[in-house]
Amino acid sequence: MFMKKRVVPMFVLIGLLCAGLLSGQATNTAHAQSAIERQEIRGQLIPLQYTTLASEVSAIISSISVQEGGSFRSGQVLIALDCSLQEAQLQKAQAQERSAQSVASANLRLDELNSVGKLELDLSQAELDKAQAEVAFNQALLSKCEIRAPFSGRIADQLVRAKQFVQVGDPLLDILDDSNLELEFIVPSRWLSWMTKDFAFEVMIDETGKSYASKLNRIGARVDPVSQSVKVSASFEGQHPELIAGMSGTVLLSVPTGL
C-alpha cells in the first residue's frame, strides 16, 4: 500500500521564502546598527580658522619673517616681496598725474577767462582722472608686496623659500589659529534624539594621555544616507595650550539605556 505525499502549495512556499529573506534583512540591519553604536568614536582636533596665503603679484621673495611652526600676530608681515618694478611703475604714474594736474589747472584758469573750449577742458579733466586712477592702481598693487597675517596663529606649512620667484596665485604659507580648536567626530544619526547642542562629555587625547571636558557646539547639516551617521563639532572647556591641531582621541560617551 502506497502512502500519499503531502503537497505544499506554491504560494505557501513563496510566502515562507519571503518571510525568511525579510527576517534576514532585518537581522542584518539590526546587526549593522548595533555595530555602528558599539564602535569606538574617534575625534580629531581642527582649527576654527585656517587658510593658505597666496601671492597676488609676480616677484622675488625678499624675506620670510616667521618660519614653519612659528607664531605670529594679526597684521604682522609674514613675507616681503621684492617689488622694485612695481615701485618704478608707481613713480611713473605719479609723474603722469602731476603733468595731468598741471594741464587741468591751467585749463580751469583759462576757462575763467573764456579762453579755452569746453571740449579741451573736459579732455584735460579726463586725463587727470585717468592718471589718478593709474596711481591708485599701482599703490594697491604695491601694497600686495607685503603678505600680512589675517589673524593671529602659527605657520602650519611653509611652501616657498627666500629668493624664490613666485607668480600670481602661487601658494606661500598654510596658516592656522591654534588658540581656538574644535573636536570633530562622527556619530550614529539616531543619537541625535538625545545628543543635542551643549551636550557635555569628555575626550581622551592620545598624544597627551589626558581627558578633557567638552561640549557639543554644532551638528552637521545632513545625515549620510549610507552609514546613517552625522558629523558633529565640540569645543573644550577652559584653555589647554598643550593641544594642537591634528591631535586625535577617543570620545567618551555614555549611550542612554534603551537606545
Tell me the pLDDT of the chain (259 aa) as tens digits. Answer: 444 444 445 444 444 444 454 444 444 444 444 444 445 899 999 999 999 999 999 999 999 999 999 999 999 999 999 999 999 999 999 999 999 999 999 999 988 888 888 899 899 999 999 999 999 999 999 999 999 999 999 999 999 999 999 999 999 999 999 988 999 999 999 999 898 888 999 999 999 999 999 999 999 999 999 999 999 999 999 889 999 999 999 999 877 765 5
- Give the model's pLDDT for residue 259: 56
Q: Residue 94: what pLDDT?
A: 96
pLDDT on residue 213: 95
The residue assigned the cell 552625522 is 230
**Could you give the 3-state DSSP secondary structure of residue 20?**
helix
- Contact in structure between 46 and 245 (CB atoms under 8 Å): yes
Cα end-to-end distance, the chain, whole Å: 61
Separation between Cα atoms, residue 89 and residue 61, nearest integer Å: 19
User: What H or E segment, with its residue span, contains residue 26?
Assistant: helix 10-38
> Which domains does the chain possess?
84-144 (1.10.287)
The pLDDT value recorded for residue 30 is 44
Distance of CA 200 to CAs 109, 174, 236, Å?
76, 32, 10
- Check: CB of residue 41 under 8 Å from CB of residue 252: no
pLDDT value of residue 113? 84
pTM of the model as a whole: 0.73
* Crossing angle (nearest 10°) for helices 118-143 and 84-112: 160
Cross-strand partners of 215: 200, 235
Cell representation of residue 57? 603679484
Are residues 203 and 250 in contact, defined by beta-carbon separation less than 8 angstroms? yes
CA distance 77 to 172: 13
